Every structure is written in structure tokens, then in C-alpha cells.
Amino acid sequence: MKKLLVILLAVLTVAVFAAPTHLVIFHLNDTHGHVWPYSEYHNPDIGGFARIATLVNKERAVNPNVLFLHAGDVNTGVPESDQLDAIPDFVTLHYMGVDAMALGNHEFDNPLETTFMQQRYAGFPFLSANFVTKDGRQLFKPYIIKNVGGIKVAILGVTTEQTQVLEPLHLNGGKFLNVEETVKKYLPELKKKADIVVVLGHLGYDGKYQPLGVQYTTSDQLAKDVKGIDVVIDGHSHTLMEKAAYINKTIVVQAGEWGKYLGRLDLWVENGKIVDYEWAAIPINMKKYLGKDENGNAQYEYVTEPIPEDPFIKMIADYYYSLGAEELNKVIGETKILLDGERTHVRGGETNLGHLITDALIWKTGADIALQNGGGIRASIQPGKITYRDILTVLPFGNTVYVEELTGKDIMDILNYAVKIPAGKGAWLHVAGVTYKVKDGKPVDVMVNGKPLEMDKLYKVAANNYMASGGDGYSMLKGKKGYDTGFVLADVVKEYIQKLGTIENYDNAPRIMMETK
């Protein structure tokens, strides 16, 4: 009898003092085609899915309680991926063991048939509880529940309402319901079914992407306004957080962009409650520039220990990289100068590359005016030989050229909207064929090819089909008399550069002049 009591006491002691369950959630966001290692200025050979796989697999080897999530925007950004509809990304992520992905706005860059095809290759669910068709049907799962080490984890996917403005081309009348209302709708159901509720959201943190004329839910706002969410894993704003935010008892995290960092959230769970957590964004072979040695060679040191590539994932990635590479690497021209497409420059001013792209539109179509949104320009072209790959990196979206017939009044509506766009927004306008001044926040002295704009005159205006469909808030272009030329914008720029040959210099004179008092 005494022996039985000792055993019972031992069992009770173990039960009382059992360690909490350790759950690890790895997460990525906004990888935008960056399957393979790549280089940035003073930061060579960084990122790459094969290195990320090494870290995830290392943890799986010692801890079975691992989830791996993607917070959206796999599509659009690297030519080898774009040419193959992001199949390299989704196949690789499949073999890396991703559990689920929230649909990002760039998952709607393509027709929905392409998105469904991508999901088949991925083999993991694409989640979006708030995207519905024009007749209110859900095309994608709203959530999944995973049993991890005896802990039931609900993963609810939501997509930024801003997609309605950013990617209207392929929605076919679909719409994005309010994120807060959607989460509130599902929370009671998820609380009954699961221990922990994770919102996997492509929302954006701290209003970084807040557009004009559209209110949309950010991850920090969601956490503040909706009680009962345990974790928000976020994307969209490309925010590299130094530490996890803790808002209204909700952990909010986001891990930068392009696979430069892998987010790792460690949770300790006891009796269905999170009792402790840690979070870090792990650098993927990021480096610190130390300057040049006596021979002029750049010197670097790793921020953390170098991460080897997982050989299996590398093999898959390398196979896809080789497909079509020969065509992408063909030289189509040369530039002696930097053609500036840096994000902060094209979303806050004019650049020679913005001028070149809009000039190419006029050259191809014979339009009076050309328009290009800064958010559609994704990279610079460095001095040297120019390849088709370079063009596709600058213009990765596959947009076609749309020509419309607009009155002078229509053009003033466009300019009145454009001058109110704050620096940093993708809607920032680049133009050709038209010049104007901005005085007291209004466009004045508008000239079309050197002549004053006439309100009743009809003008031929060329833009990409994204803007023509009302993208980036240019709703005044939607539904106007016009036609899609079928010319791919990247191909138009390629042909224009071929015509230019060697670019010794390019027009950088202001077309939009800011008047100061």
C-alpha cells in the first residue's frame, strides 16, 4: 500500500511540475521570387530557401513541435520565378514543409486559375477568410487547425483590404471583407476548437502602406481592437521588427522581406495558454561591410555564423533556375550610367529610369501622354550590359500597355489625385509628354508637348493595364474609352532600349516641378 502511494505521489508530482510544451513557429513573408541566394549593395550572397531549410530542419531534428508558415506575397520579383508563375517557389516551399500560407495581394497579380494551380503545386493550403467572390462565395480555406505536440493551433488567414485597390485586374468582381469583422466572426468558433489562435495575415504593420482613399486594417490595429488573438504573424509592409510587439495580450511579428531573415517564434504552452515566448528574426547569411583591403577588394564579416544550403532543396531550386536562363541572359543593350529605380527614389520623385519607361510608352504607341506608377518600378539597372533579365527585374508584373482617350479634364483629375500622394507610396506618378508645376498642393501650368492643356480636347494616354483598371487608386482611369494593346510593358522597354543602343546619358530634367514659397 505504501509503495502504491509513493507511485501515485510521484505521478502527481510529475503532473504538477511538468514542463510546458515548447512550440516553434518559423515564418516568412514577402519573399517575392527570392528562392535563390542573391546580392545587394555591400551584402553579397544572402538569403536563399536552401539555407532557410537548413535552419528549419535543424530544429525539427530535436523538436517535433514545429510549424512553418508564410504570410504571403510569394509572387512577383525575380525573373526566374516570374517566367514560371512562381512554380519554383511553391515547389521548393512544399519540400521545405510549409504548413500554410496567407494569400498576399501579389497572389492576385495573376488570374485566379494560376493561383489555384500554384496551390496544387504547393500542396499546402492558401488561406484567406476575407476574400469572397462577387456572389459571396469563399474560394480559399479560411483557416486550418494543426495538432502540434498535443496543442491545437488554429491558423486563420486574412488578406489586406488594400488588395482591392492594388491588384484589381484579376478579381472578377471579388472583394475583400473587413479584416477586423472577419476575425471577430471566426474567433468564437476557433476558441472552441483550438487552444491557440494564430492570425496569419498579409496586412502590414503600423500603417506603413496606408493608401489614399482606402482604409485598411493593419496588424497592430487588429491586435489593439480585437481581443482574444494569441499571435499575429504578418506581412505586406516588409517590416523587419527588432523585437515582437505585444499589443492587448497579442504577440505581433513580421520578418522583413525577400528571405533575408527567417522569423522564429518560440512559445511555451501550458494548459492551453501561452505562458512565455521569445522571438527573433534570424539573418540568412547577412554581412557587415568592413571596407576595402589594400588591393581594393571589399571585405565583409558575417552577422551570424554562415548557414550551409540544404542539398536537396538546393537541387530543386537549381533545376528551376536553369529553365529559361539562357533567354533571360541575352544582352539587349548597354548603359554607361545608373538607371535609377531605387524604391525610395521612384516612390518620392522622378528618375531617369521612370522617364525612360514612360518615354518608351509614347515611342511604342504614339500617345500624347504616358503614365507609370512608381510602385511598378522594382529595381535599378546598373551600368554595363543590359539583359532581358534586367528588364524583367525592373518590371516583373507582366503588365500590358493600355491606351485610353481622355479629355483635358480627365487628365486634371489624374494630376489632382497624383499631387496628393505622399512620398513612399506606390501610386507616385511618373509621366512623359506632360509637364506641370505643383503649387499649394495643386497642379498648375499643365503643358502637353509644350502646349497648354485644353479641358475639352481629347488626348491619347498610354499607361500600364494595372493603372488603367483603377490600380493604386487611379479610379478615374477605369472604364474610359480605350483598349489593351497586348504589348507587354517589359517587352516595350526592351525594344526601346534596343533602339537606343548604348545609353550614354538620359533625360533627368524635371517634368513635375515643385514650387516653393
pLDDT digits (tens, 9 = 90+) for 2-28: 555 544 444 444 444 578 999 999 999
Q: Which pLDDT band, with edges at 50, 70 and 90, does 136 fall under?
A: very high
Q: What is the pLDDT of residue 209?
A: 44
pLDDT at 331 over 80: yes
**Mean pLDDT of all residues belonging to the chain:** 92
pLDDT at 316 over 90: yes
CA atoms in the 13 A half-sphere facing the CB of 388: 16
Q: Which pLDDT band, with edges at 50, 70 and 90, does 440 fall under?
A: very high
Q: What is the pLDDT of residue 1?
A: 53
Instruction: Name the phi and psi angles at 456, rounded to 5.
Output: -95, -5
pLDDT at 487 over 90: no
DSSP-derived letter for residue 90 is H
**Which value, to the nearest 10 degrees, does the dihedral of the CA atoms of residues 301, 304, 305, 309 take?**
-100
In the predicted model, what is the mean pLDDT of residues 25-41?
94
Share of the chain above pLDDT 70, in %: 94
Which has the closest alpha carbon to 54: 320, 319, 325, 304?
304
pLDDT digits (tens, 9 = 90+) for 244-289: 999 999 999 999 999 999 999 999 999 999 999 999 999 999 999 9
Q: What is the pLDDT of residue 488?
A: 84
Separation between Cα atoms, residue 257 and residue 465, nearest integer Å = 26
Contacts of 375 (CB under 8 A, 6+ apart): 347, 425, 426, 427, 428, 472
Contacts of 5 (CB under 8 A, 6+ apart): none
Dmax of the chain from CA atoms? Answer: 105
In the predicted model, what is the mean pLDDT of residues 184-204?
98
Q: What is the pLDDT of residue 486?
A: 77
User: In a 3-state reduction of DSSP, which class is residue 252?
Assistant: strand
Handedness of CA 153, 242, 341, 237 (dihedral sign): positive
Separation between Cα atoms, residue 200 and residue 197, nearest integer Å = 10
- End-to-end CA separation in angstroms for the chain: 95
CB 32 within 8 A of CB 73: yes
pLDDT digits (tens, 9 = 90+) for 348-366: 999 999 999 999 999 999 9
Q: What is the pLDDT of residue 134?
A: 93
Measured in whole angstroms, how far is the alpha carbon of residue 516 from the centre of its chain?
35
Domains and CATH numbers, the chain: 19-322 (3.60.21.10), 331-514 (3.90.780.10)
Q: What is the pLDDT of residue 94?
A: 98
Which has the closest alpha carbon to 281: 263, 266, 302, 256?
263
Tell me the whole-structure pTM to 2 decimals.
0.77
**Worst-scoring range by mean pLDDT, 162-166, 198-202, 225-229?**
162-166
